[in-house]
Structure 1
């Protein structure tokens, strides 16, 4: 695979704000642009796999355990052997779907120190993502778990918030933390489920306001992939407009 100028987009925010749905529909939008896409589910809740209609058999947590056992049992004798094993297992964990590839991080680490293995895995993943145009990561509430367990370099941070005071406060905190970490990352907030709210958005770098979507609720209830949502759907059309100006 050839190397590309990869844009890594992490989606974070309070649980229930809609970040997984937004992430899945951004994958759909990038598919329409015929870009090479890697979607990474970095939330232990594993909602992105459902939203994209994929069923991963192996996760990065499985790979982490395999590497740990191989080191403990001395099945690998050098860093070169470890890298070869990690690369093989990483590719075997990758799901090649129509229009995008998919990788699941899995559960949080079990007891024990995985710091060196996490660092090694981040190196392997960074080598892999260099061959994609876009990487979309459905993260946990904050960016630090993404940086620790998946990738250190994120080029774009999208914080998805609803209109509740708690969600807006979390968005403010995440923006402040992101600015402390780096000045080069593009950061923005999407306000989801806007409706007729009059919540205070001062000083937030708001990318756009998304309406309440009954379609997403119906798809979620039926267990249908959001990739199947109509291109004419009002929510999806608004999200495309927002992302077109951001990435």
Structure 2
């Protein structure tokens, strides 16, 4: 399987299943599949196709699967997944961010992606949300699940390359995130 060449006597499907298994990094309490770099400038086409084909195989092995996509709508428009129980759109506390979240919501509708529940999470908010931000949320028909406050320690961890799962348990951003996730999970049981 050197250099992505399928060995003699092995089907492409077997090759891809082995490669996918190799891509899963097992962690403490969770596993991670990280996509590699693009094939060409900005192109994730083949990687997305393979991810779509083999995601079902991974889903069967886990009670929860979280897909963390890069900012933007490309992953949704490429139909990397078309059937989700819970779609969380994370935005910063800006009108532009909320408008993008609204476009994502509209794109999910237009592409007929089966998203049973959809929620908006506002990240890095200075002081809650302003009236203008609330109006934008309402205008776009978004369901606000909660707000994660701006946090200097979280920023420091990010700049130092430290995993956020190692933040102190009383960290305000971490506490807010866990509260949001607990409420969403409880509401969907």
**TM-score above 0.5, yes or no:** yes
Deviation at 1:88, TM superposition (A): 1.2
After superposition, the CA RMSD in angstroms is 2.9
Corresponding residue to 1:179 among 102, 109, 114: 109
Deviation at 1:149, TM superposition (A): 7.6
1:63-114 alpha-carbon deviations (Å, 9 max, x no partner): 9x72xx44xxxx567xx71111111111112111221111111223338x99
**Which residue number corresponds to residue 145 of structure 1?**
75
Deviation at 1:151, TM superposition (A): 3.5
**Which residue number corresponds to residue 23 of structure 2?**
93
**Which residue number corresponds to residue 230 of structure 1?**
168
Corresponding pairs, count:
175
- Quick one: structure 1 residues 216 and 114, their matched pair in 2 at CA, closer, same or farther if it must change by over 3 Å? closer
Deviation at 1:228, TM superposition (A): 0.6
TM-score normalised to structure 2 length: 0.77
Deviation at 1:127, TM superposition (A): 0.8
Deviation at 1:227, TM superposition (A): 1.0
Secondary structure of 1:185's aligned partner:
strand
Structure 1 unaligned blocks of 5 or more:
1-62
**Which residue number corresponds to residue 109 of structure 1?**
39
- Relative contact order: is structure 1 or structure 2 higher (C-alpha 8 Å, sep ≥ 6)? 1
TM-score normalised to structure 1 length: 0.61
Structure 2 unaligned blocks of 5 or more:
none
